[in-house]
Amino acid sequence: MSAAPRAEPDPGRDPEREPGTDGGASAEGGAAEVRRRAPQRRDAFATRARILRAATQEFARNGFGGARGERIAKRARSSERMVYYYFGSKEGLFREVLESAYDALGVAEQALVLDDKAPREALAHFCRFVWRWYAEHPEFIGVLTAENQLQARHLRRSARLDVLVRPVVRLLAGLLERGERGGDFRPGLDAADLYVSIAGLGYFPVSNRHTLSAVLGRDLADPQVLEAHWRACEDMVLRCVDARLQSAG
Cβ atoms of 171 and 179 within 8 Å: the answer is no
Residues 121-144 have pLDDT tens digits of 999 999 999 999 999 999 999 999
d(CA 19, CA 15): 8
Classified as helix, coil or strand, 242 is strand
pLDDT of residue 159: 86
If 0-12 CB within 10 Å is exposed, 13-18 middle and 19+ buried, where does residue 188 land?
exposed
Helix/strand/coil for 111: coil
Whether 5 shows a pLDDT value over 50: the answer reads: no
Name the band, by pLDDT with cuts 50, 70 and 90, for residue 188: very high
pTM of structure = 0.79
Contacts of residue 52, defined as CB under 8 A and 6 or more positions apart, other chains included, come to: 93, 96, 97, 100
pLDDT at 11 over 80: no
Confidence (pLDDT) at 20: 47
Q: Quick check: 82 and 51 in contact, CB under 8 A?
A: yes
Distance CA 143, CA 102 (A): 10
18: left (phi over 0), alpha (psi -120 to 50) or beta: beta
pLDDT tens profile 80-120: 999 989 999 999 999 999 999 999 998 998 889 999 999 99
Distance CA(60)–CA(145), nearest Å, equals: 8
What single letter denotes the amino acid at residue 238? L
27-77 residue pLDDT tens: 555 555 544 555 556 688 999 999 999 999 999 999 999 999 999 999 999
Task: Give the whole-angstrom CA distance, residue 157 versus residue 155.
Answer: 5
Element (H, E) at 248: helix 243-248
DSSP count for the chain of H helices, then E strands: 12, 0
Rounded mean pLDDT, 184-196: 96
Backbone φ and ψ for 20, nearest 5 degrees, come out as -65, 160
